[in-house]
Amino acid sequence: MLIEQTMDKLVALKLRGMITALQEWLDNPKRQQMKPTDLVAMLADAEWLHRENRKLTTRLRQARLRHSACIEDIDYRHPRGLKKPLLQELASSRWVAHHQSVILTGKTGTGKSYLACALGQKACRDGFGVIYKRASRLFDELAQARADGTYLTALRRIAKASVLILDDFGLERLGAAERRVLLDVLEDRYDVSSTVITSQLEPDQWHAVIGDETAADSICDRLVHNAHRIKLDGESIRKTRSPLNEDEKNSK
């Protein structure tokens, strides 16, 4: 009867990790030989782990990453100029703690978005808030926010994220409104949070896409100078892994 009352109190307190661990302890007679201090430590660890996992699930859901990517699953065998020591350094998420940026460039299909999402997922695992946006979608959403009067609220929400992943930047030339949006977003983030940019264009080509020399200088100044650079080369991974290519290899 006493244990049932204890369980009811744990349920009322929403200590779900502790409930699961206590039930496992009750179901395992061998573990019931534990010292009281060891039992308390086990229950505390179980509750802490449960809450940390819930926080991670929430961060990943809010990030809305394009790919279910993991830094440990990155393929270094494909010849694309990917340097493992740099990725291992970035996997520490120290670049996030130091408010640095990451710029991933290369042809389509070389894995820029996957790598960006892998870095974002690792940042989530390390306790940082992440937001993923395709560049065109970000501009559209903030244009709508300006129209309905929620622009500043939307900017504050983006600014709160420790990491903003801006994917597929530079596919289209920016207009005046888009330049203003990008400057507003980056100004809020400069020196206080991190930004990941993926682009088919190298930063020295961004001026033409941004379309205004002064704005381009300001945008690049906030992104490039404290950024880790990853330039990917080689063929598209999707192309080399296509069933057609496998058939061709097998026929040789």
Tokens 């040789």 map to which residue?
252
| Model confidence pLDDT, tens digit, residues 23-57 | 888 888 877 778 888 889 999 999 999 999 999 99
pLDDT at 7: 87
Over the chain, what is the mean pLDDT?
A: 89
**What does the radius of gyration of the chain's CA atoms come to, in whole angstroms?**
24
Phi, psi of 64 (to 5 degrees): 55, 50
Q: What is the DSSP letter of 141?
A: H
- Which range has the worst mean pLDDT, 62-66, 73-77, 133-137? 73-77
pLDDT at 34: 84
Residue with more model confidence, 32 or 198: 198
Q: What is the distance between the alpha carbons of residues 56 and 165, in angstroms, rounded to a whole number?
A: 18
Residue with more model confidence, 218 or 35: 218
Q: What is the distance between the alpha carbons of residues 38 and 175, in angstroms, rounded to a whole number?
A: 63
pLDDT at 82: 87
pLDDT at 186: 94
For residue 42, give both structure tokens: 């086990």
How would you label 30-46 residue by residue, b for 16+ Cβ within 10 Å and e otherwise? eeeeeeeeeeeebbeeb
**Amino acid found at 217:** D
Q: 83 pLDDT band (50/70/90 cuts)? A: confident
- Which range has the worst mean pLDDT, 85-89, 198-202, 233-237? 233-237
Domains and CATH numbers, the chain: 2-62 (no CATH), 64-240 (3.40.50.300)
Q: 171 pLDDT band (50/70/90 cuts)? A: very high
> Is pLDDT of 22 > 90?
no
Mean pLDDT is highest, among 8-22, 80-94, 129-143, for: 129-143
pLDDT at 251: 42
